Amino acid sequence: MNKKLQKPELLVPAGNMDKLKVGLQYGADAFYMGMPSFSMRSRINNFDEDAIMEGVKFIRKAGKKFYVTVNIYPRGNKVDAFKKHIKFLNDKMKPDAVIVADSGVVDMMREYAPKIPIHMSVQANVLNYRAVKFWQKQGATRIILPRELMLKEIKEIHENVPDMELEFFVHGAICMAYSGRCLLSAYMTGRDANQGICAHDCRWKYKVREGHEYALEEEERPGQFMPIEEDEHGTYIMNSKDACLLPYLQDLVEAGICSFKIEGRNKTEYYLATVTKAYRQAIDDMMKGKKFDKNLLSEVAKTGNRGFIPGFLFGFPGNDNVEFDKSGPMQTYKVVGLVKGKTKKVKGDDMYEVEIRNRLEKGQNVEVMTPDDQFTMELVGMFDLEGNALDLVHGGAGNKILQLKKGLPENTMVRVKC
């Protein structure tokens, strides 16, 4: 192990119980999660009080940490609800920390849950060491730094406030507003991103309207023109590539980052498994003094992405931060099945009930990924739940039985080349 480096935390999203279990299996050290009314992912979050308490039990049993997101900017009519929620966190959940953006919520945390550590959200836009010192005086123990900070700026913050924990997003989608204080969704749909209900308008389909060479028209809003410019490639200003900092983890640790955060509470279990496994290996290799394995970049490319950049880490990215070839996501593999467990409905110790996610044919070559293994094989057996042989299944067909390999754990991923 490289004794010069402090081992960083691998922090992953838990949008629901299934994703939490996948994160545990594939190597997460800690989770961030929240309840819909108080979280920046309110539309996709499947946790209510009972479910989130069940999740807490799983995390504690595994000896891991969890941080609760309380990071929207509440309007006045939500203050009483926040008081009640904070008391619930203090009395029942007892998280390792809460993630907060609003100064009023920080004040309520100090009043109603003074023993719970406070992590300042990326939404708080803490860009300099004086702002870090300010939040430290308010009781914050960690700052989640904005994506638009450069490596040299991270170092400067750490050098000036060395006793403050620093967290950084290392992988995932980049909002066109970077730190997330965007008003586009509120303007176009009435759904405020700062209240956790972003409609992701920046990723809708737009075209330059004929006869309006500098006007953009969204496909569901014909006749509504928005001023815009384009170059010879088209209009791409809202088509940011995704962040991937796999090759730069040691640089970040040396700059003062103690927690690597993966974005994606609304991403799939497949995305979470693949990305978590890749970063787990990269961190473990780094701590052993091993050279970075470039194959890990190919692994994360097997998930949906918009092309990868290191964000602002080494300077303003300019045109390189935009994907010019296409506006939709790209990936080299797609998940076709999620193993739910062994089955006795068909004889054999290599038979598994699998949730089918995409089209799959008997005889097709599939890649099987577990937390500890990865291999390619021919799919020689496929059956329905009554044991009848099948040649073809489609995504959304429900659970089927696949003949794979002995000893596969639950939440094994089955994927094919796109």
| DSSP character string of 40-53 | TTTTT----HHHHH
> 307: which residues sit within 8 A by CB, 6+ positions away?
241, 242, 323, 325, 330
d(CA 28, CA 2): 20
221-250 burial, b at 16+ Cβ within 10 Å, e below that, comes to eeeebeebeeeeeeebebbbbbbbbbebbb
User: Please, what sign has the CA dihedral across residues 388, 392, 396, 400?
Assistant: positive
pLDDT in tens, the chain (418 residues): 445 789 999 999 998 999 999 999 999 999 999 987 787 654 555 688 899 999 999 999 999 999 999 998 899 999 999 999 999 999 999 999 999 999 999 999 999 999 999 999 998 999 999 999 999 999 999 999 998 899 999 999 999 999 999 999 999 988 766 666 676 776 677 777 766 677 777 777 766 655 555 666 667 777 776 656 555 555 555 567 889 999 999 999 999 999 999 998 889 999 999 999 999 999 999 999 999 999 999 999 999 988 898 988 988 765 555 554 555 568 999 999 999 999 999 999 999 999 999 999 999 999 999 999 999 999 999 999 999 999 999 999 999 999 999 999 999 999 999 9
Q: Is the pTM of the predicted complex or chain greater than 0.85?
A: yes
d(CA 360, CA 305): 22
Q: What residue spans define the domains of the chain? A: 9-174+240-321, 184-227, 333-417
Dump pLDDT digits (tens) for 106-129: 999 999 999 999 999 998 999 999
pLDDT at 194: 64
Q: Which fold has domain 9-174+240-321?
A: TIM Barrel (3.20.20)
Count CB neighbours of 35 within 10 A: 21
H or E segment and range at residue 327? none
Q: How far is CA 260 from its chain centroid?
A: 11
| Domain 333-417, classified CATH 2.40.30.10, yes or no | yes
Same CATH topology for 9-174+240-321 and 333-417: the answer is no
d(CA 237, CA 174): 13
